[in-house]
Amino acid sequence: MKKFSLLLVLSLGACVPKPSANASLVTFDIAHQGGVVKTYWRKLGDKPSKEFALGSNNWVLLIFKDPYKKAKIEQRYLEPGIYYLASFELQVGNRLLKSQGTLPRWRTGWDKAHNKPLFLAFKVKPHTPLKLPPIELAVRHILADKKRGVKESYKVNFLFNDKEGVLIQGAYLKSF
């Protein structure tokens, strides 16, 4: 069994595509109040199926563990271009909050009418490492109030200090 699993891991590792010569290392630091957050990123102009997720466990570990893991700093080699946050998911207590209720491949974080991101975006240049500023997703729970006609909901704010102007800000950064 150990030999089989080792062979499987080695064969899958050999199938991972290598980054091109123009790729740049991008460092992500996205957190949610010490909790679990999963983000889906997409390159502008690519097919919706060509997105990548940050904050998820490997598919092999899904058999044994929760599909979500605690937020941590992650790094990826990305081709030059503009990348935007297509959608995100937060685990709050026993609930899973999603920025958009459809399947991840149908979610879009780009406002085509105004040609800008709904949440966040950044530009990757060739051969230039990029470190995104730490991003915190702050969640506020709004309780239901039947007398005032208020339904239970959650408000999400993106908190970050972008001194270098790396991030392109979208319309839904506050109170999404």
- Res 14: pLDDT: 45
Give me the domains of the chain, ranges plus CATH numbers: 18-169 (2.60.40.10)
Kindly provide the residue ranges of all beta strands, DSSP E only, lying in the chain, ordered along the sequence. 24-31, 36-43, 51-54, 73-78, 81-92, 95-98, 110-111, 116-117, 120-124, 130-131, 135-142, 153-159, 167-169
pTM for this predicted structure: 0.78
CB 124 within 8 A of CB 26: yes
| pLDDT-based confidence at residue 10 (cuts at 50, 70, 90) | very low
Indicate whether 19 pLDDT > 90.
no
DSSP 139: E
Q: Determine the pLDDT at residue 58.
A: 47
Mean pLDDT over 128-147 rounds to: 88
Distance (Å) of CA 39 to CA 88, 111, 119: 4, 18, 11
- 50 or 151, which is more confident? 151
